[in-house]
Amino acid sequence: MLNQKEKIEFLSEYLSLKNNNYADLIKEELYIQIFDFENISFQFIEKVKTKREIIDKIEFVVSKVVLHEHEAGINNIINEYL
């Protein structure tokens, strides 16, 4: 089980990984919202316990953005699901 600091560090590392696809752009936006603008609280981090759960949560949000970006906008989706 990861502590809060380890979760945040892993989240930062995971969002910075590049796969040369559209998801990279969404993960960059997530990074900016979470770490640069601090628009997202770390409440969701408290709910996850493992690196796998962090990855799953981020991939879920990325998929929501891909599917619904044209309807709701990236920031609205991020705020709703994180």
Query: Residue 16 pLDDT more than 90?
Result: yes
Query: Residue 21 pLDDT more than 80?
Result: yes
Chain segment 25-76, per-residue pLDDT in tens: 999 988 988 888 766 667 888 899 999 999 999 999 999 988 887 777 777 8
Number of domains in the chain: 1
CA–CA distance, 64 with 70 (Å, rounded to integer): 11
Residue 73 Ramachandran class (φ > 0 left, ψ -120 to 50 alpha, else beta): left
Q: What contacts 24+ positions apart, CB below 8 Å, involve 76-81?
A: 78/29, 78/30, 78/33, 78/39, 78/40, 79/39, 79/40
pLDDT of residue 14: 96
CA–CA distance, 35 with 12 (Å, rounded to integer): 8
* Enclosing domain of residue 34: 4-81
